Amino acid sequence: MADTKTPQETITLTIDGQEVTVPKGTTLLQAAEVMGNRVPHYCYHPGLSAPAQCRLCLVEVEGAPKLQPSCVTAAQDGQVVHTESQKATAMRQGVLEFYLANHPLDCPICDQSGECKLQDYVHAEGRKHGRSREPKRVFGRDDFGGDVLFYGDRCVMCTRCVRFMNEKAQDPRLTVVERGNRSVIDTFFEEGLAGSPYAGNVVDICPVGALVSKDFLHKARAWDLDHTPSICPNCSQGCNIDLHVRDNRIQRLKPRANHEVNEFWMCDYGRHRYEWMNREDRLEIPTYKSGGEVRPADWGTVLKELSERLEDARPVQAVASPFASTEDLGALRRLVDALGGGDVVFRSPRAAEEIPLPGFEKLARRRDLAPNVRGAEIQGMERVGDDDGKGGLDDLSGHTGTLIVLGDELTDLGEDFGAQSSLFIYLGAHPTAGAHQADFHLPMTTFAEQEGTFINVEGRVQRFWPGVEATGAARPAWMILGALLNRIEGTEIPSVAADAFVATAGTTPELQGLSYADLGSRGAVINEPVALPGS
């Protein structure tokens, strides 16, 4: 059937002497961004309405009687626009001077320093010296509840926070009180933002240091943080995030824009669950039992010993974790199949209900509180256990063949778990009493230390990258299991995550046809239609 989709109407205009073609309805600010020219702005945010109140994005349009707010002025065919004309820059300089009249000089102690738009704009084109002789206004600090502190002295009254709570959270807890130069953001109720599941986003969108996170307060300077694109591991929504890392420790999680998954936002549940990635009680070196004694060894020795013992240990049962990457799960599935086949089960904690973002309903804190439940399901793995991610493994307690556990910390099980198994292999990041009987402890990396993919509730395959260095001799599970498969079947050992993805796709119809490189930073949906819960 021929494609009958109507082509989108476009217009062409000139901005700062350069022609640019954009879809009809594009604003002047957006058109300038297309050509790489970012017009300074405060109140405008691409995910919110545009009130055109900060007056910082004014530009000169030939033929117009006065400067125009570029955030709400639609581009017209044949327009000639100047964002850097004398009139436009003089107006911005004047607006910035008004902002600085009351803004405190506390950049050395402000959490936003280093990523503050006021710093950037004033440095680029502000006045060299202030002219105000009046004392600055003082509002002080206010606890808005939850994780949010408000420094009224720093506020530039862009109202992004108010509009987010009204339009996206649809939970109007913030408003502007007083008028003129006495205006200040305040809460409607005594509890403020406490209990609002998406309130942390107001800190992300604040362009200055007026709204800050209590959790991150004075923890690190912005310029000390390395940013790594990743995927939130705390539910099956798969929000795109950045890991902010300093001294090989994750300091905070921030949402990364992806209009197909989470737009610009993330929930507070996911945002604040990152400390487990910094746990210091780690499995660092591979060990195995020989003659009743636990022996540390290098990977070559351990894998040789393990491959020899696997020849006689049958049948096979395995436990996987939905916190493991798709490549890890695929390698486990292939190993179990190579050993004659067997059941692979997984456990996932579940919430009582989903919590959607009303203004962008595609985003929700999902019931499954693990990132790769869908990845386990397409590998033919069966969910067991209760909503706490516990139970369901009673049948394995008396298993007498080979027992393989990947990623599940077995926190609800005692030291006698797996005692009946002729061979118990544990791949994990942290020591646990439930793996006390394991014949082999193989240290694996967390998702934050490796590259790979998760598959979210929608069936979208999304890549993540390593943000911190691996501990000790820990390796990705796909690499460990790939080396073991090499000794058993002679298959090639994957050296990079892309190779592991190809190997997994080769035995997984839902992934076939997807290119690891083409997934990019936005992901792609698997070959099987997946309905969102409740749709």
Q: What is the pLDDT of residues 327-384, one digit of tens each?
A: 999 999 999 999 988 899 999 999 999 999 999 999 999 999 999 999 999 999 999 9
Q: What is the pLDDT of residues 256-275, one digit of tens each?
A: 999 999 999 999 999 999 99
Tell me if 309 is assigned to some domain.
yes
State yes or no: pLDDT of 2 exceeds 80: no
Residues 266, 297, single domain; the answer is: no
Q: So what's the pLDDT on residue 198?
A: 97
* Average pLDDT value for residue range 195-223: 95
**400 compared with 32, residue with greater pLDDT:** 32
Give the list of residues 6+ apart from residue 29 with CB closer than 8 angstroms, or none.
39, 41, 44, 57, 70, 71
Residues 256, 308, single domain; the answer is: no
Q: So what's the pLDDT on residue 525?
A: 93
- How many residues would you count in the chain? 535
Q: How confident is the model at residue 428 (pLDDT cuts 50, 70, 90)?
A: very high
Residues 248, 330, single domain; the answer is: no
| HSE-up (13 A, CA, CB side) for residue 187 | 18
Instruction: For the beta carbon of residue 136, count every other beta carbon within 10 angstroms.
Output: 12
Residues 271, 295, single domain; the answer is: no
Tell me if 517 is assigned to some domain.
yes
291: exposed, middle or buried (C-beta count within 10 Å: 0-12, 13-18, 19+)? exposed
Host H or E run for residue 184:
strand 184-187
Residues 167, 244, single domain; the answer is: yes
Q: So what's the pLDDT on residue 6?
A: 63
Tell me if 55 is assigned to some domain.
yes
* Number of domains comprising the chain: 3
Domain ranges, residue 47 = 10-84
State yes or no: pLDDT of 532 exceeds 70: no
Q: How confident is the model at residue 427 (pLDDT cuts 50, 70, 90)?
A: very high
CATH number reported for the structural domain that contains residue 307 in this entry: 3.40.50.740
Q: So what's the pLDDT on residue 530?
A: 47
Q: What is the pLDDT of residues 373-421, one digit of tens each?
A: 999 999 999 999 999 999 999 888 888 899 999 999 999 998 999 889 9
Preceding peptide of 40 cis, ω within 30°: no
Residues 60, 184, single domain; the answer is: no
Domain boundary among the residues 275, 300, 315 is at 275
CATH number reported for the structural domain that contains residue 15 in this entry: 3.10.20.740
Residues 179, 266, single domain; the answer is: yes
Q: What is the pLDDT of residues 130-171, one digit of tens each?
A: 888 888 888 889 999 999 999 999 999 999 999 999 999 999
* DSSP assignment string, 340-374: T---EEE--BB-SS-EEETTEEEEEE-SB-STTHH
Q: Return the percentage of the chain with pLDDT > 90, whole number.
A: 82
Q: How confident is the model at residue 5 (pLDDT cuts 50, 70, 90)?
A: low
Host H or E run for residue 395:
helix 394-397
Q: What is the pLDDT of residues 440-486, one digit of tens each?
A: 999 999 999 999 999 999 999 999 999 999 999 999 999 999 999 99
CATH number reported for the structural domain that contains residue 188 in this entry: 3.30.70.20
State yes or no: pLDDT of 227 exceeds 80: yes
Tell me if 535 is assigned to some domain.
no
Domain boundary among the residues 235, 252, 275 is at 275
Q: So what's the pLDDT on residue 133?
A: 84
Q: What is the pLDDT of residues 490-519, one digit of tens each?
A: 899 999 999 999 999 999 999 998 999 999
Tell me if 533 is assigned to some domain.
no
Q: Return the percentage of the chain with pLDDT > 70, whole number.
A: 97
Residues 263, 301, single domain; the answer is: no
CA–CA separation, 225 vs 248, rounded Å? 10
Tell me if 351 is assigned to some domain.
yes
Residues 318, 260, single domain; the answer is: no
Tell me if 193 is assigned to some domain.
yes
Q: How is residue 298 written in tokens?
A: 């290098």
Residues 271, 291, single domain; the answer is: no
Domain boundary among the residues 275, 301, 316 is at 275
Q: So what's the pLDDT on residue 1?
A: 41
Q: How confident is the model at residue 283 (pLDDT cuts 50, 70, 90)?
A: very high
Q: So what's the pLDDT on residue 535?
A: 40
Task: Tell me the average pLDDT of the chain.
Answer: 92
CA distances from 52 to 56, 157, 436 (A): 9, 12, 63
Residues 271, 297, single domain; the answer is: no
Tell me if 494 is assigned to some domain.
yes
Q: How is residue 273 written in tokens?
A: 């669950």
Q: How confident is the model at residue 534 (pLDDT cuts 50, 70, 90)?
A: very low
* Average pLDDT value for residue range 241-266: 96
Residues 228, 332, single domain; the answer is: no
